[in-house]
C-alpha cells in the first residue's frame, strides 16, 4: 500500500451537471479507487435545476467523505481536483464548481475543468480498452454521435431538441410509472416494451445526421391518452422508433469514419434492445462493439477524475478565476491534446 502511494498521485473528480452528484477518485495510473454517486429523485415532475442543486449542496460533504474513505487516501495525497465545467444545468454545475474551487484552494492543488461529454468518452475508452471509437452517447440530457477526427472530437449527429433519455423519462411520467431506486424511468419503459411485439406507427424524424425526439414523444403520449392501445405496445413502439433513429445515424457515421470500434455510453446504454441493434451494426461494419458498464456509463465522478488526469498530464489546468461554468460547452470546442499521441 505504502509503495503504491509513493509511486502514484491521485485526482478527485466532481460531477454535478444534472441530477447526479458524484465523486470519483483515480490514481494517475488509471486505477479507480472510488466512484460514489447520489441521485436526486424528485417526488413528482422533472428535474428542477435549483432543487437538484440544493440536493448536490446537501450531499456533497457526505459523498466526498465516503469516496475518500473508500479510496483509503488522505486529502493531502490529492494532486489535482477535476470538476465538470459543462455542459449542464447552471445551478447544478455551479454547486459542483464551488465545491471544487473550495477543495482546490484548501488543498492548494490545481483545478482542472472537464467537459462532461468528453469525460463520458474518455472513461469509456479507459474501461473498455477502445482506442479510437465512434461513440454513441445517449443519456437524460445528451444524445450525440461523436468521434475524434482531425485533431478534435467532432459531432457527427445530435438531437435537435430533447435527449432520447428525456423522451423516455417524460413518457414514463405521463404514463404514471413510478421511478424506483435502482430502476430509472428508461428501465421501466424497457421492461414493459419487452412484453410486446405489436408495433404501432409513430413519427420517425432523422434530418440529415441529426435527430428529433419531441414529435415522437408528443405522438406517443397522444397514443397513450387515446386509450386504445396497451401501455406495453406503446412502450415497445416508442423504443423501436427512437432506437432505429439512433441506429440509422450511428451506422452512417460508422460507414463514413470507418472507426475500428463502436462505443455505447450514457444512461440509456443500459437498454438491451438498443445494445442488440447497435451490436448488429458494429458487426456489419467490422467494428468492435464496446458497451460501457452502467456505473461508468451513467453520470459519474470517476470519468471527470480520469479526464482531469489526462488533461493535467498534457499541461492543462483551470485557474480559479477562469473556472466559471460553461452551460453550453460543446464537445467540438474542447482542446484535447491527450488524444492520438
Ligand atoms: P444519465 O443522464 O447518463 O445519468 O442517464 C439517465 C438516463 O438513462 C435517464 O433518462 C434514464 O431513464 C435512462 N436509462 C436508464 N436505464 C435505462 C434503460 N434500461 N433503458 C433506457 N433508458 C435508461
Ligand atoms: Mg443523470
pLDDT of residue 1: 42
Q: In the predicted model, what is the mean pLDDT of residues 12-17?
A: 98
Helices (H), the chain: 2-7, 49-71, 90-107, 116-128, 164-174, 185-193, 214-226, 231-257, 272-284, 294-297, 301-313
Pairing of strands 10-15, 20-27: antiparallel
Residue 213 near residue 164, CB atoms below 8 Å:
yes
| 10-117+299-333 and 122-296 agree in CATH topology | yes
Q: Where are the domains of the chain?
A: 10-117+299-333, 122-296
Mutate to test the pocket of ligand 1, among 267, 277, 278 (most ligand atoms within 8 A of CB): 267
The ligand 1 atom at the shortest distance from the C-alpha of residue 190 is 20
Q: In the predicted model, what is the mean pLDDT of residues 104-123?
A: 97
Q: In the predicted model, what is the mean pLDDT of residues 158-176?
A: 96
Closest listed residue to residue 292, CA positions, set 267, 264, 273: 264
Closest listed residue to residue 279, CA positions, set 326, 247, 317: 247
Average pLDDT, the chain: 95
Cα 266 to averaged position of ligand 2 atoms, centre (Å): 9
Q: In the predicted model, what is the mean pLDDT of residues 290-313?
A: 98
Mutate to test the pocket of ligand 1, among 162, 186, 243 (most ligand atoms within 8 A of CB): 186
Percent of the chain surpassing pLDDT 70: 96
Tell me which architecture the domain covering 10-117+299-333 has in CATH.
Answer: 2-Layer Sandwich (3.30)
pLDDT of residue 2: 41
The C-alpha atoms of residue 142 and residue 153 are separated, in whole angstroms, by 15
pLDDT of residue 38: 97
- Closest ligand to Cα 298: 1
| Sole residue written with cell 488543498 | 107
CATH number attached to the domain at 122-296 = 3.30.420.40
pTM as predicted = 0.95
Q: Is 139 in the pocket of ligand 1 (CB under 6 A)?
A: yes
Cα 88 to averaged position of ligand 2 atoms, centre (Å): 10
Q: In the predicted model, what is the mean pLDDT of residues 231-247?
A: 98
The C-alpha atoms of residue 156 and residue 208 are separated, in whole angstroms, by 10
Percent of the chain surpassing pLDDT 90: 91
The C-alpha atoms of residue 311 and residue 163 are separated, in whole angstroms, by 28
User: For atom 21 of ligand 1, which residue has the closest CA?
Assistant: 186
For residue 179, pLDDT beyond 80: no
Q: Is 169 in the pocket of ligand 1 (CB under 6 A)?
A: yes
pLDDT of residue 182: 61
Q: Is 242 in the pocket of ligand 1 (CB under 6 A)?
A: no
pLDDT tens-place string over residues 189-220: 999 999 999 999 999 999 999 999 999 999 99
pLDDT of residue 181: 55
Cα 186 to averaged position of ligand 1 atoms, centre (Å): 5
Q: Is 298 in the pocket of ligand 1 (CB under 6 A)?
A: yes
DSSP state of 153: E
Higher pLDDT, 120 or 43: 120
Cα 107 to averaged position of ligand 2 atoms, centre (Å): 28
Amino acid at each position: 500500500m505504502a509503495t503504491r502511494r509513493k509511486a502514484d498521485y491521485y485526482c478527485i473528480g466532481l460531477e454535478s451537471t444534472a441530477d447526479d452528484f458524484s465523486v470519483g477518485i483515480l490514481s494517475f495510473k488509471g486505477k479507480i479507487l472510488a466512484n460514489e454517486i447520489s441521485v436526486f429523485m424528485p417526488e413528482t415532475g422533472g428535474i428542477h435545476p435549483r432543487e437538484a442543486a440544493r440536493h448536490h449542496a446537501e450531499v456533497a460533504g457526505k459523498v466526498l467523505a465516503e469516496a475518500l474513505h473508500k479510496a483509503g487516501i488522505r486529502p493531502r495525497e490529492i494532486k489535482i481536483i477535476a470538476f465538470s465545467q459543462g455542459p449542464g444545468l447552471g445551478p447544478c454545475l455551479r454547486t459542483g464548481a464551488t465545491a471544487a474551487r473550495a477543495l482546490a484552494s484548501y488543498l492548494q492543488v490545481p483545478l482542472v475543468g472537464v467537459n462532461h461529454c468528453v469525460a463520458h468518452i474518455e472513461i469509456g475508452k479507459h474501461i473498455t480498452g477502445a482506442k479510437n471509437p465512434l461513440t454513441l452517447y445517449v443519456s437524460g440530457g445528451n444524445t450525440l454521435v461523436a468521434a475524434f477526427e482531425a485533431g478534435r472530437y467532432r459531432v457527427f449527429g445530435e438531437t435537435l431538441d430533447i435527449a432520447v433519455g428525456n423522451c423516455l423519462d417524460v413518457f414514463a411520467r405521463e404514463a404514471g410509472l413510478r421511478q424506483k431506486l435502482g430502476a430509472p424511468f428508461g428501465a421501466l419503459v424497457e421492461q414493459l416494451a419487452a412484453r410486446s411485439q405489436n408495433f404501432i406507427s409513430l413519427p420517425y424524424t432523422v434530418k440529415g445526421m441529426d435527430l428529433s425526439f419531441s414529435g415522437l414523444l408528443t405522438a406517443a403520449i397522444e397514443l397513450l391518452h387515446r386509450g386504445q392501445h396497451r401501455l406495453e405496445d406503446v412502450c415497445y413502439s416508442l423504443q423501436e422508433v427512437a432506437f432505429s433513429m439512433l441506429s440509422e445515424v450511428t451506422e452512417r457515421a460508422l460507414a463514413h469514419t470507418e472507426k475500428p470500434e463502436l462505443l455505447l455510453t450514457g444512461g440509456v446504454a443500459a437498454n438491451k434492445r438498443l445494445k442488440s441493434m447497435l451490436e448488429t451494426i458494429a458487426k456489419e461494419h467490422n467494428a468492435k462493439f464496446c458497451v460501457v458498464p452502467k456505473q461508468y456509463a451513467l453520470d459519474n465522478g470517476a470519468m471527470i477524475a480520469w479526464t482531469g488526469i489526462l488533461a493535467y498530464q498534457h499541461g492543462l489546468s483551470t485557474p480559479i478565476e477562469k473556472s466559471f461554468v460553461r452551460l453550453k460547452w460543446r464537445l467540438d470546442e474542447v482542446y484535447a491534446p491527450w488524444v492520438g499521441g
